[in-house]
Amino acid sequence: MAFAFIFPGQGSQFVGMGQALADAFPAAREVFDRVDTALEQKLSDLMWTGEVDELTLTANTQPALMACSLAAMAALDAEFGVNITDAKFVAGHSLGEYSALAAAGSLTIEDTAKLLRIRGNAMQSAVPVGAGAMAALLGASVEDAEAACAVGSEKGIVQIANDNATGQIVLSGEVAAVEAAAQAARDAGVKKAMMLNVSAPFHCDLMKPAADAMEGALAEACILPPLVPVVNNIQARPISDPDDLREDLVKQVTGRVRWRESIEWMAGDGSVDTFAEPGCGKVLTVMLRRIVKGVSGNQLDTPDALKAFAKEIKG
């Protein structure tokens, strides 16, 4: 069995996230404590008993999702003997790439939490409220989405933000441009084009101020070679050189999340037949079914799920 860990991005959060892991496993609890200390905030309290509106603030959501993923990884290792080096690759969706790097030993948990706090604040403040928008195109190909963006670009900035799965593409940019692109997609016969309720237009050129902020923050961060290769969002191929990882984390802020291609590569050239999603929910596990056939997906968000996965891996 060849497997990869895939780490979720924004949208998987919910109040109560990770509490079952912290209650069941001391190693998981330690991860939450380390993140709380690094941020000088009881983020774990917000995650478990806080208000959903505060949890969904980008500056809180990003480190919270990372903490949940790394808590699951710590418990897998300490309680069940499943180590990151048992995996062939790691990958993460948007902010999940930071979780992947921390899991693979490239970043410390503390540095990852601080970087994601900077990233969350920078992305939220990069564009004035109401100036940006995102839209999901369902049933669209990349070519359909690019054609829609070409029409929308007459109104301003609009580009593909996420190539999530076969027939699931997200656009991002200025409001008028995204609306025009969504309408162009409908006119072209795309199954569904709907505006999304988001706090900012992520992964487009409007995020340039956030990319600049991350370039400065990452320049000072210690990034080590990962223990297993990281299939990153920018190249959709395995990367291990710290300088390349650092450069692509900056590009990722304004660049396309090439998730479909990443999964296709791991399942194809990478020969991965099993994927495991540590942390929160099953967003990426569900996407798998739309991208490749014949692979196994595992959501690792409860003590029982961790135990079952470890049994599958270890036999």
Computed on alpha carbons and rounded to an integer, the radius of gyration of the chain in Å comes to: 19
30 with 103, same domain?
yes
Q: What is the pLDDT of residue 113?
A: 98
Determine the Cα–Cα distance for residues 105 and 245; give it in Å rounded to an integer: 13
Please say which residue of 160, 183, 199 terminates a domain.
199
Q: What is the DSSP string of 244-267?
A: HHHHHHHHHHHS-B-HHHHHHHHH
Q: What is the CATH number of the domain that holds 82?
A: 3.40.366.10
217 with 242, same domain?
yes
Q: What number is the average pLDDT over the span 51-56? A: 93
Q: What is the pTM of this model?
A: 0.96
Phi-psi category of 2—alpha, beta or left, where left has phi over 0 and alpha has psi -120 to 50?
beta
- For 190-215, give one letter per residue: b (16+ CB within 10 A) or e: beebeeeebbbbbbbebbeebbebbe
229 with 99, same domain?
yes
Please say which residue of 199, 219, 253 terminates a domain.
199
184 with 137, same domain?
yes
120 with 138, same domain?
no
Over pLDDT 70: what percentage of the chain?
100
Determine the Cα–Cα distance for residues 88 and 4; give it in Å rounded to an integer: 6
User: Over 90: is that where the pLDDT of 230 sits?
Assistant: yes
Q: What is the pLDDT of residue 174?
A: 98
154 with 220, same domain?
no
240 with 170, same domain?
no
Question: Which candidate in 94, 99, 106, 172 is catalytic?
Answer: 94
Question: Which candidate in 12, 44, 99, 203 is catalytic?
Answer: 203
The pLDDT confidence band at residue 314, using thresholds 50, 70 and 90, is confident
State the residue range of the domain holding 22.
3-126+206-314
149 with 53, same domain?
no
In the residue annotation, 240 being an active-site residue is answered as no
Considering its fold, how many domains does the chain have in total? 2
252 with 136, same domain?
no
Q: What is the pLDDT of residue 281?
A: 86
Asked if residue 214 lies in contact with residue 198, where contact means CB atoms within 8 angstroms, the answer is no
In the residue annotation, 93 being an active-site residue is answered as no
User: Over 80: is that where the pLDDT of 117 sits?
Assistant: yes
Please say which residue of 161, 180, 199 terminates a domain.
199
53 with 106, same domain?
yes
Q: What is the pLDDT of residue 198?
A: 87
Q: What is the pLDDT of residue 199?
A: 85
Q: What is the pLDDT of residue 1?
A: 83
178 with 293, same domain?
no
Q: What is the CATH number of the domain that holds 192?
A: 3.30.70.250
β partners of residue 192: 138
21 with 166, same domain?
no
